[in-house]
Structure 1
């Protein structure tokens, strides 16, 4: 760490105990910062969220297993962890107000406040479960019992994972989404169709439609989901898996620039140079001044925390390669790197690698032959190779990409 940063930054307060805040703390110590760090994590020890719709939901992982680090990790790095919520940020005085009135002084503040689940904007939408916290997952797991009927609205990553977990637990799931198939921008149409077809193969009913109302049934226990076409789905529980909204309340109250997220530059700095933001709540402004889309994926949150750590210390932020995402459902692992969204790539074409007519991987090639993105099912080596190809600007051999007999590791040579 440079001497100037060491002298001027003696206390950092991180607001939010998700993976973005956690990665920022880790990066601060790696970069040599030896000043005070306070982490405000209302839920206590930070834990990993992706498993809440997977292993934790079905009971193969417990609260201890999903912690990002054991309690001793924080003490070893001299991090003060407070299980309390921040209620106000006052950049002018360099303080953060906690629930209860305590004021914390800070030279730098990192807002890693994450987001909260979107609610169904229909009458009775509040009757649906959402999934964001460990408590949410525990509440949902309690109703996903053998024979229970669950209607899942939204067949994207979270909704599909919840439906898969419901099947594992013996519940009868109905998956509702207005798009057929879901996830095309993320993984391409061929892989999206393969993934969506897995639901019916596991006994999950899929409906193309949208709810217009949710109401309690006559006994007040079940839920009746009324769809736009007039049909209904009766369920013991309804789950809304339709994305999140960024939690920008502290930033807005502090008069920071907010537009669909807390606006940050390439170093993670907000419109106030003493305040930084990372994770799901942040939204970066590109070099040309345009606002980029927020990313709600795990790796993006990790990277943004690392960027903010460097920024808070006045150091050059790290650079990362093509974005990556992953999901598990019905015993298969799907990954995607780069972009598969043809809407943002004029003249691009899709190429498939298939075995016996079943697509194993999809590639989006630019008009000039460069690889823009790849999605694959249970082919981690392929995704790793695709990421190297994208990051190095290699123009791959299309025939080799499509040939299932070609070892992915040979594609980067």
Structure 2
């Protein structure tokens, strides 16, 4: 096996790391497999802003698999943090003072919450939402009447706003972009999604945060339009910074992420990277944008495992994502930025949006409460089918009929 006698060490217990371990065993890899993460048992992150945050999902449901899976599949869990990587020696240094040997290392470190580079942006009481512990802290604060300010109206900020309102909190949502998420869902659905905040009583501020001041247990957020927001708690949800420090100190190439090829190999043949931290550089030198979605992390882990055992890389369909807010489920697939927009309306309200090439091929689709529509759209995109735009815009025609 390419991993050698010392097996595979996976640094990071998110979806990409867990998938790598799971796929290695599915492929019949019988070497040592170890997941090293300071949080211990790997768990899923999307529920942290939704079901786990509102208490409807118990702790044990966060885990990808029952705890017995790890012993049943001989996957070792090491609760520690890797502080240094010496890939040419196959050595990982751990925060606990010990070292760990591995023939192959997989970096699935994700990212850390981005801080605001403003006065008060480093106040210790500001909240973030990356881990189970972060969600526990935030959940303990979400009580009726509490004033929560959320800086950043992207996926995490929007989902937390929805959850917090349901829990009775008074929410202010601050973002300098008038309509967030346009690149993910298309402008038509993004407008409808963003309008849901105000419709549910959220104080929406389209402004830049310029300073945060704390006085006792109260925070004052100053905005560039001259207004301010007073809150009991502040969640900063302005994206992540990929965790590249370990890779950089190990001499691996990075560029706003760890650079990898299509098989997710880094510039060192003994090291792979996948998930939010990885950034693919194609053979022609083109560097792709990092993907920070659940499915792309899973696909990265699948590619890594296949490459390690020497099997062909799996084929993946168009990129897919989902989100939930105020009881509405949104899904999107493919490219919602380029192409010609086609929109489906029901009673004058947009329910689905598509992007089409000039030759009639679909390149992107998004739906609200669309059921199986996005799966049908993905088949259309992946097969390169030409679709009649008139039928595509007709809500009476099921999308799966156009995918045949």
**Do Structure 1 and Structure 2 share a fold, with TM-score over 0.5?**
yes
Residue equivalent to 1:356? 347
SS in 2 for 1:269: coil
Residue equivalent to 2:196? 198
Residue equivalent to 1:104? 100
Distance 1:206 1:221 in 2: 23
Alignment check: 8 A CA contact 1:119 1:130 kept: no
Corresponding residue to 1:79 among 54, 66, 75: 75
Q: Does 1:254 align with 2:250?
A: yes
Gaps of at least 5 residues in structure 2 are: none
**Residue 9 of structure 1: how far off its partner (Å):** 5.5
**Residue 5 of structure 1: how far off its partner (Å):** 4.0
Residue equivalent to 2:234? 238
Distance 1:369 1:249 in 2: 45
Distance 1:163 1:311 in 2: 40
Residue equivalent to 2:325? 329
RMSD, aligned α-carbons: 1.1
Distance 1:194 1:388 in 2: 26
**Residue 105 of structure 1: how far off its partner (Å):** 1.4
Distance 1:308 1:74 in 2: 19
Q: How does 1:179-218 map to 2 (within 5 A)?
A: 179-217=177-215
Distance 2:309 2:42 in 1: 23
SS in 2 for 1:203: coil
Corresponding residue to 2:170 among 172, 178, 184: 172
Distance 1:315 1:267 in 2: 11
Distance 1:63 1:122 in 2: 35
**Residue 97 of structure 1: how far off its partner (Å):** 1.2
Gaps of at least 5 residues in structure 1 are: 343-347
Q: Does 1:375 align with 2:370?
A: no
**Residue 397 of structure 1: how far off its partner (Å):** 1.2
Alignment check: 8 A CA contact 1:334 1:377 kept: yes
Q: Does 1:276 align with 2:272?
A: yes
Residue equivalent to 2:149? 151
Distance 1:310 1:256 in 2: 21
Residue equivalent to 2:379? 388
SS in 2 for 1:26: helix
SS in 2 for 1:230: coil
SS in 2 for 1:147: coil
Distance 1:94 1:266 in 2: 23
Alignment check: 8 A CA contact 1:9 1:313 kept: no
Q: Report Cα offsets for 1:213-235 as digits up to 9, x if no partner.
A: 00013xx1110000011111111
Corresponding residue to 2:32 among 20, 29, 36: 36
**Residue 119 of structure 1: how far off its partner (Å):** 1.0
**Residue 10 of structure 1: how far off its partner (Å):** 4.8
Residue equivalent to 2:302? 306
Distance 2:83 2:383 in 1: 45
Alignment check: 8 A CA contact 1:267 1:316 kept: no
